[in-house]
Structure 1
Amino acid sequence: MRTGRKLLHRLAVVAAAASTAVALGGTAPASAVPPDHLPLHVTNNSGRGEQIHLYVLGVNLATGRLGYVDAGGTFTAWSGGTLPPSPAPDVAISGPAGGATTTLQIPRGLSGRVYMSFGEKLKFFLSPDGLVQPAPWASGDPNHGILFDWSEFTYNDDGLWLNSSQVDMFSVPHSVGVTGADGGSSTAGELVAGGRDGIFDALAGQPGDWGRLIHTRADGTRLRVLSPHKGIDTAVFGDTYLDGYIAQAWDTYRDTTLTVVPFQHEPDTRFHGRTDGAGVLRFTDGSGAEVASFQRPTTKDVFGCDGRLHAPNDHVVGPIARTLCAALHRSTLGFAHTQPTYDPAGFYTRDVTDHYSRVVHEHMVDGRAYGFAFDDVGGFESLVHNGSPVSARIDLTAF
């Protein structure tokens, strides 16, 4: 199970979306402070008959405390955790019936998740350091047999960032949207018609371990497909799958220079990488000073965008690491020598690639998804943002 500390780290990454988006050339925050509470409309167009349960969980950005939010927008910090973890209070909010909408209130100053489950309530637990959230990729997790998913958000003085997420798994098709004070609206994460079945079928038919990432319930319901990172964690996906490609990419830059231009709005900010005799990819800045170095990562490092590709929240090492990780997922590193690349027609074109992310993107209406942690490199993530939001929405679409 994922501990409260790990969840806090993940939500801190989400909370950093504001500064990251601006640094990478995204929309600058509006000057007006958004409302204290933002209405979030959850609409059920799933076509399924089960009762839907909603949860708003996250971290208070002012205090760092993990907690939950009720339907009216009141935040309450978790308390009373034990070892071993004890059951958390039932904080489920009754969700909408078919064709109906339930409106939640999201307090400003919160970064977190909106969970939605079908039929059964989710089981959460508390440890001394906070929440133990569902980890359905683990067979022993009490939520393993429940159909559920989540979206992630940050709502602060600079506005709302809201995204669907397939970083850990894909399960419930849903889109996210936001409407601004000027009446403008944006949507992301919408699947093409039949997209859910299309994703499952494509991965089931992909040679190798990809079909083993699918979880099917005893009643025949296909619950979810895991990301390859979670597949490695649960020993259903090979942990050397990318090793040959990674070695080829690293060796390419023994004789060729890799140029990383991490900020689209700063084309003159460039870092130049060459692989040395010890197999370390070293980057220099415009003055020739070394600013970052990366040992050759493992398959798990790449699929998790962590380990030897850990990206600190700075303006040099982190952006380079993010760029490398995205290029390896998209199988462009070693072939395109200036990164990142921005033409999706060149992504996932090799036999050895992240077929999970490829398939998810192929089944999105706008081609955007969060197939891995740094899918926002180049702006290919299923994210909406508005600096002056007046409402947000999550639409559960048909499946």
Structure 2
Amino acid sequence: MSLFTSLVCALSFFSLSLFQLTSAFPVVNHPGTKNDLIITHNNTINATTPAGLAFAPDSQPASYLKLALVNYLNSNNVKAYVTGLNANNQLVFLGQNGQFYYPSTTSGTPVPLSDADISIPLGPKGSTTSATIPGYLSASRVWFSDGSLKFYVVGTPHGPGLVEPAAVNPNDPNAATNYGFAELTWIQAGGLFADISFVDFVGLPLGIKMTTTDGTPTQQALGLPGNAVQSVCNELKSQSQRDGQPWGDTCVYTPSGSLIRVLAPNAYLSQKNTAFSGYFDAYVKQVFQHYSTTPLTINTQAAAGNVQCTANANSMTITCNGDNRSYGAPSAADIFGCNSGPFAIQGGDNAVHYAVVPRLCAAFNRGTFLLNGGNTQPSLPPSSYYQSSPANFYSKAVHKFEWNGLGYAFSYDDVSPTEQQNVAGVVASGNPGTLTLLVGGYDQA
């Protein structure tokens, strides 16, 4: 998950095990029905308020957030879907009429939503479709697809839960549909934060641009070109030839044999949990050995300032001053996902721990611990990332083809030295004007 998806809660009452692939690779998707849905915290949004319950009117911004949806895809069937939680934590879609649509059900099994209620059709290639978001919105995604996407809603003890498309499920009802999403949170206290996310997969290429009403310059992260899926897949297949790891197996095909997307390694591991086994082990041992005799400094870029850490090569733990917990040796799954093992956040963790986790995980993904200057994290520029093996070469490939290298490619891609550009490509303002979302590739304009 990236900057905003940490707001999403699990549907803990709906227990389904992740599908473990046993067939030969590459991955071939076969779209299923609602009976094939896999519901996890990664593809659900839970309302904390039943849709029909009466409340005071939503907190209203002084002006609505303007969206410009630009189609660069050579298709007349592109659609957008805006999902999220309103100011009352009610589950909403942005309807074609510019008003929030409130899906609701008490059913314990997923109920499909009508595309006519939740989709915003885009015009042909080269066209711009205007829309407005009529109230504050959090945990929001703006989905784009070539064709219709299937969304489902299911009853929870606290209100309706939205089941979103899941790229990690080869039998998801949307498995053969080309799609992607941007993320945004627009709240009164902080303004607008938005990004394009390739944390879980590369699919339909997207880009983002934002103007403001306070005279500050336009911010943009134009994302990936039109041929990004093929380019990233080719890059990862080449990496597999170099190191023998299953990077190329993350390329996903439709039943007809068309390449449709590339899974991030953390998403691929949810299908084949033995992949990348031991990939980082030797490097992790080197890191722990090195920092058992050399001080490691974590720049929290917060009130705690620089925190000193020390590794114990015997117990394979890292201990940081002021941190409420130490860190054990991470596995490949821990490193790629940044949310398990030593990187899992627990109730009661303090501010130091919250700051150390992303900086440690980012350094493992980028392979910067043993570089000159790597004893302070973060401190090195993007040009030093992914320069040695092992590393997250999916992230390297995504950044290689992104415009100016900007856009989330793993969960903590927003970790960067204070003086360096943030490669996550987040756009943010307390005074947003128009948020422009580009679909189909920035090079197709």
Scaled to the shorter chain, the TM-score interval is: 0.7 to 0.9
User: For the residues of structure 1 that align with 2:212 and 2:130, how far apart are their CA atoms?
Assistant: 17
Structure 1 residues 145 and 338: CA distance shift in structure 2, 3 A: same
Report how far residue 311 of structure 1 moved.
4.2
Counterparts of 1:132-147 in structure 2, within 5 Å, are 132-147=163-178
Matched, 1:224 2:267: no
- State the one-letter code of the partner of 1:154: T
- 2:82 corresponds in structure 1 to 56
Report how far residue 72 of structure 1 moved.
4.0
Counterpart contact for 1:55–1:115, Cα < 8 Å: yes
Report how far residue 8 of structure 1 moved.
6.1
- 1:78 corresponds in structure 2 to 103
User: For the residues of structure 1 that align with 2:41 and 2:155, how far apart are their CA atoms?
Assistant: 10
Counterpart contact for 2:81–2:144, Cα < 8 Å: yes
- 2:396 corresponds in structure 1 to 358
- 1:27 corresponds in structure 2 to none
What is the DSSP-based 3-state SS (H/G/I as helix, E as strand, rest coil) of the residue aligned with 1:163?
Answer: strand
1:127-178 per-residue CA deviation (whole Å, 9 max, x = no partner) reads 2230111112211211111101100001112321111100110111121011
Structure 2 residues without counterparts, runs of 5 or longer:
1-36, 49-59, 417-421
Matched, 1:156 2:187: yes
Report how far residue 5 of structure 1 moved.
5.3
- State the one-letter code of the partner of 2:104: S
What is the DSSP-based 3-state SS (H/G/I as helix, E as strand, rest coil) of the residue aligned with 1:83?
Answer: coil
- Alpha carbon RMSD of aligned pairs, Å? 2.5
- State the one-letter code of the partner of 1:272: Q
- 1:87 corresponds in structure 2 to 112
Report how far residue 122 of structure 1 moved.
1.0
User: For the residues of structure 1 that align with 2:367 and 2:45, how far apart are their CA atoms?
Assistant: 28
1:101-141 per-residue CA deviation (whole Å, 9 max, x = no partner) reads 1112123420200111103x111112223011111221121
Structure 1 residues 253 and 194: CA distance shift in structure 2, 3 A: same
Counterparts of 1:93-132 in structure 2, within 5 Å, are 93-111=120-138, 112-119=140-147, 121-129=148-156, 130-132=161-163
User: For the residues of structure 2 that align with 1:104 and 1:250, how far apart are their CA atoms?
Assistant: 51
Greater shift in the superposed pair: 240-249 or 91-100: 240-249
Matched, 1:310 2:344: yes
User: For the residues of structure 1 that align with 2:46 and 2:154, how far apart are their CA atoms?
Assistant: 17
Given the two structures, how large is their TM-score scaled by the length of structure 1? Answer: 0.85
User: For the residues of structure 2 that align with 1:77 and 1:34, how far apart are their CA atoms?
Assistant: 19
Report how far residue 38 of structure 1 moved.
0.9
1:265-299 per-residue CA deviation (whole Å, 9 max, x = no partner) reads 77x811111123422211014xxxx5441111221
Structure 1 residues 217 and 7: CA distance shift in structure 2, 3 A: closer
User: For the residues of structure 1 that align with 2:47 and 2:264, how far apart are their CA atoms?
Assistant: 19
User: For the residues of structure 2 that align with 1:261 and 1:393, how far apart are their CA atoms?
Assistant: 34
Structure 1 residues 116 and 375: CA distance shift in structure 2, 3 A: same
Structure 1 residues without counterparts, runs of 5 or longer:
13-32
1:340 aligns with one of 378, 401, 404: 378
Matched, 1:185 2:210: no
User: For the residues of structure 1 that align with 2:305 and 2:254, how far apart are their CA atoms?
Assistant: 50
User: For the residues of structure 2 that align with 1:104 and 1:2, how far apart are their CA atoms?
Assistant: 31
Counterparts of 1:164-313 in structure 2, within 5 Å, are 164-183=196-215, 184-191=217-224, 194-207=227-240, 208-235=245-272, 237-263=275-301, 269-276=305-312, 277-285=314-322, 291-307=324-340, 308-311=342-345
Given the two structures, how large is their TM-score scaled by the length of structure 2? Answer: 0.77
Report how far residue 194 of structure 1 moved.
4.9
User: For the residues of structure 2 that align with 1:194 and 1:127, how far apart are their CA atoms?
Assistant: 36
Structure 1 residues 34 and 367: CA distance shift in structure 2, 3 A: farther
